[in-house]
Amino acid sequence: MVSGNSRFSEEKLGKSYDLKLLGRLLPFAKPYKLLFLCSIFLVVMITLMDLSIPYITKITIDTYIVPSTDFFVSETPGEGQKKTRYLSVRMKQPGVASIVGNYPELFRVKGESAVIPYEWLSRLQEEDLANLRGRDFSGVTRMVLFLLVIVCTNFIFNFAQMMIMEYTGQKIMHDLRITLFDHIQHLDLAFFNRNPVGRLVTRATNDIQNMHEMFTSVITFVFKDLFLLVGITVVLFTINFKLALMSLMVLPVVLYFAVQFANVAREAFRTLRIKLAEINSRFAETIEGVRIIQLFRQEVNNYKAFKRINREHFLAGMKQVRVFAVFLPVIEIMGSVALATVILYGGSGILSGTITLGALVAFISYMRMFFRPIRDIAEKFSVMQNAMSSAERIFLILDQGQMVAEPASDEGLPEFKKLTGLNFENVSFSYIPGEMVLKDISFQVRAGETVAVVGPTGAGKTSLINLIVRFYDPTKGRVLVNGNDIKYYPSKSIRSRFALVTQDPFLFSGTIRDNIAQGSRTLTGQQLSHILTASNCRYLTDSLPDGVDTILSERGTSISSGERQLISIARALASDPDLIIFDEATSYIDSETEHKIQSAMKTLMAGRTSILIAHRLSTARNADRIIALRQGEIIETGSHDELIQQQGYYSRLNALQG
Ligand code: UTP
Ligand code: MG
């Protein structure tokens, strides 16, 4: 079952986590090197600005609001209880001397400067106070303006940085998706036998989206946060070494929690992802097989199974929420403890005059800034894990070397022009090693011949065709085209000359016209009209309101399988091939449609080489040669009349079909 498979591979992949992957992503980031550098520069600038804001506050407080020239004098030395803070002014400053002279009872003159207790400042006239502290007022205004400029610049830089990173992330994601898409459409068919559609689609959507997140938010935030942490630490230690040491004492505890969190969160994320993949594949399977589910009345069972997966997904989601719900408050508490330490030691530092008020205020701001990045990084770590495993899964597909092998340029043959003959030379083939589906097949088809292949279901008829169009290569032996091994022709040139009408033709969602024109470059209205008549499709298009421009639903399920086969005959006709390969539908087709298909085939085969796989012997009867296949081996070969005379498998089949 699909879900079982995908679960296995998700788990297997989830465990390995490798930074080497980052290296593999580099080529995708390389075209955007300049943008990345630009972004890093902006991040550095933004961080510096972020760091400067508390520092500017500190300078403002220490220089202008509570100047450090202030000093404290213990008025009652014996008890050491009451301290008075004095403002000191310089007599030389214009206007100061006269103000000091006006209040001789308040000021104490000491040489060049005069001091006044802060408590008495309110006794001065408002005008005098303004004069006295004029320099401080204008200083504060200047600093505030400066701060404003920084905040505005910071805003602009942040905007630019975000735009650049988002742009780059989107671009990389698009490049990656295109690469993946193109790679997948060139892969060998055997790959698709192993990988369910749902899983591949998830790669191109979810996984690529995860990578995008990593490129934008993670790179930006982690880089910014780390830079900020280092910056804050450096600033804290330069402001006050001892206080910095005291306040960062909680750091080891925080780190311990962060690591624990990251581990548990990774596990929770992984479970969540596995459950999501299960939901996706169950959904895909249900939609794909809805007919069978309804036919066998499996709705209730399927519902129950889905409900279980859905609940597991919910529980996994809740577990993740719980992990976050514990971790985030813990970091919050640690932050508060650090803040309390700062206030306790910083406060007493101010009282004892070893720390300035500005330094304490700056410390408090920095401590607040310090814990946000820690939280961010721990959170982003999980996103990173997620993106890494997505990257791993994407590269797993990109590493799939099983492309349809093309000849190396030196051994390649010139472009394939016209078919002169097709040979099977002792060809054996197996899909699964050891289980031979075709055994030692040899036959020849000359140009212009019609060869029919008959045989019971599972005999290997379709497999035979798969080798001719090179969906697969033979396990043993050779398929020769014009006497050369088919491997040495570019598959493109082979396929452009061969047309295949499959058992269950696949039509794309789109108009009938687009489906018919698929194989050929240009079709004029006249050509199309001719093809429609020749392939007996006209009755169909005439009966549809929009004619050839009728839009077929996905896979052409809106028309009958007989009609699908008619359209695919028209599609083969449009490409004007040398070799026609027709895999007759096994499904029941009414005799009228069958007649239409046969007459369309006759037109298609006229003047061309053809290989027909026939279930209805009326199709085989007129072939130049008939090959009867059973269990992967040729049991009879000859014309209709010869085989009837042989009284073997074919003649029994003929007798049965009457
Ligand atoms: P074929 O698909 O060649 O049989 O499979 P057929 O002769 O055309 O049968 P009908 O008439 O259309 O029904 C031959 C064998 O190869 C196996 C099948 O299980 C079958 O036994 N097979 C086919 C694979 O193992 N893998 C495939 O992808 C296809
Ligand atoms: Mg078949």
CATH number of the domain to which 16 belongs:
1.20.1560.10
| Under 8 Å between Cβ of 540 and 563 | yes
Question: Is the pLDDT score of 422 beyond 90?
Answer: yes
For 510, list phi and psi in degrees, rounded to 5.
150, -175
DSSP string for residues in 113-150: EEEEEGGGGGGS-HHHHHHHTHHHHHHHHHHHHHHHHH
> Half-sphere exposure of residue 80, counting CA atoms within 13 Å on the CB side?
2
The whole-number pLDDT of residue 525 equals 82
Give buried/exposed letters for 512-532 (b at 16+ CB in 10 A, else e): bbebbbebbeebeeebbeebb
The whole-number pLDDT of residue 491 equals 78
Q: What's the CA angle centered on 283, arms 280 and 286, to 5 degrees?
A: 150
Alpha carbons 219 and 213: distance in angstroms, whole number: 9
Report if residue 56 sits inside a domain: no
Report if residue 542 sits inside a domain: yes
Ligand 1 pocket, mutate which of 432, 462, 468, 472 (most atoms under 8 A from CB): 462
**32 and 163: one domain?**
yes
Alpha carbons 186 and 471: distance in angstroms, whole number: 11
Q: What's the CA angle centered on 641, arms 637 and 647, to 5 degrees?
A: 70
Q: What's the CA angle centered on 89, arms 85 and 90, to 5 degrees?
A: 150
| Under 8 Å between Cβ of 465 and 613 | yes
| 431 CB near ligand 1 (under 6 Å) | yes
**124 and 176: one domain?**
no
**20 and 102: one domain?**
no
Alpha carbons 608 and 618: distance in angstroms, whole number: 20
Three-class DSSP category at 429: strand
Question: The domain that contains 498 carries what CATH number?
Answer: 3.40.50.300
Ligand 1: distance of its center to the CA of 186 in Å?
23
Alpha carbons 360 and 243: distance in angstroms, whole number: 9
Ligand 1 pocket, mutate which of 195, 439, 441, 461 (most atoms under 8 A from CB): 461
| 434 CB near ligand 1 (under 6 Å) | no
Report if residue 60 sits inside a domain: no
**227 and 341: one domain?**
yes
Q: Residue 633 CA to chain centroid, in angstroms?
A: 46
**109 and 165: one domain?**
no
What number is the average pLDDT over the span 130-136? 81
Question: Is the pLDDT score of 409 beyond 60?
Answer: no
Ligand 2: distance of its center to the CA of 621 in Å?
19
Q: Which tops the pLDDT comparison, 618 or 3?
A: 618
**210 and 117: one domain?**
no
Report if residue 55 sits inside a domain: no
| Under 8 Å between Cβ of 348 and 246 | no
Report if residue 513 sits inside a domain: yes
Ligand 1: distance of its center to the CA of 464 in Å?
9
Alpha carbons 283 and 228: distance in angstroms, whole number: 45
**41 and 72: one domain?**
no
User: What's the pLDDT tens digit per position in 57-97?
Assistant: 999 988 888 776 556 565 555 544 556 777 778 788 777 88
The whole-number pLDDT of residue 16 equals 43
| 526 CB near ligand 1 (under 6 Å) | no
Question: Is the pLDDT score of 308 beyond 60?
Answer: yes
| Under 8 Å between Cβ of 470 and 404 | yes
| Under 8 Å between Cβ of 143 and 56 | yes
Report if residue 537 sits inside a domain: yes
**615 and 648: one domain?**
yes
| 491 CB near ligand 1 (under 6 Å) | no
Q: Give the β-pairing of 609-613 and 450-454.
A: parallel
Counting DSSP H helices and E strands in the chain, the numbers are 25, 16
Q: Whose CA is nearest to atom 26 of ligand 1?
A: 431
Domains in the chain: how many in total?
3
Report if residue 169 sits inside a domain: yes
Q: Whose CA is nearest to atom 24 of ligand 1?
A: 431
Taking each helix axis from N to C end, the angle separating 219-239 and 33-60, rounded to the nearest 10 degrees, works out to 30
Ligand 1: distance of its center to the CA of 610 in Å?
21
256: CB partners within 8 A, 6+ apart:
none
Amino acid at 65: I
Q: Whose CA is nearest to atom 3 of ligand 1?
A: 460
**439 and 302: one domain?**
no
| 459 CB near ligand 1 (under 6 Å) | yes
**331 and 281: one domain?**
yes
Question: Is the pLDDT score of 413 beyond 70?
Answer: no
DSSP state, residue 520: S
What number is the average pLDDT over the span 19-28? 79
**Residue 606 host element (H or E):** none
607: left (phi over 0), alpha (psi -120 to 50) or beta: left
DSSP state, residue 32: G
Ligand 1 atom closest to Cα of residue 459 = 7
Give buried/exposed letters for 364-378 (b at 16+ CB in 10 A, else e): bbbbebbbebbbbbb
Tokens matching residue 415: 């472009």
Last residue of a domain, one of 138, 165, 180: 138
Q: Whose CA is nearest to atom 21 of ligand 1?
A: 458
Last residue of a domain, one of 107, 138, 169: 138
Ligand 2: distance of its center to the CA of 653 in Å?
17
The whole-number pLDDT of residue 94 equals 77
Q: Which residues pair with 445 in a beta bridge?
A: 422
| Under 8 Å between Cβ of 504 and 585 | yes
Domain containing 644: what range? 421-656
**178 and 101: one domain?**
no
User: What's the pLDDT tens digit per position in 542-591?
Assistant: 888 888 888 887 655 677 878 888 888 888 888 888 899 998 876 667 77
Give buried/exposed letters for 89-126 (b at 16+ CB in 10 A, else e): beeeeeebeebbeeeeebbeeeeebbbbbeeeeeebee
User: Which ligand gives the minimal distance to the CA of 459?
Assistant: 1
pLDDT band, very low/low/confident/very high, at 5 (cuts 50, 70, 90): very low
Three-class DSSP category at 261: helix
What number is the average pLDDT over the span 150-162? 94
**217 and 162: one domain?**
yes
Report if residue 484 sits inside a domain: yes
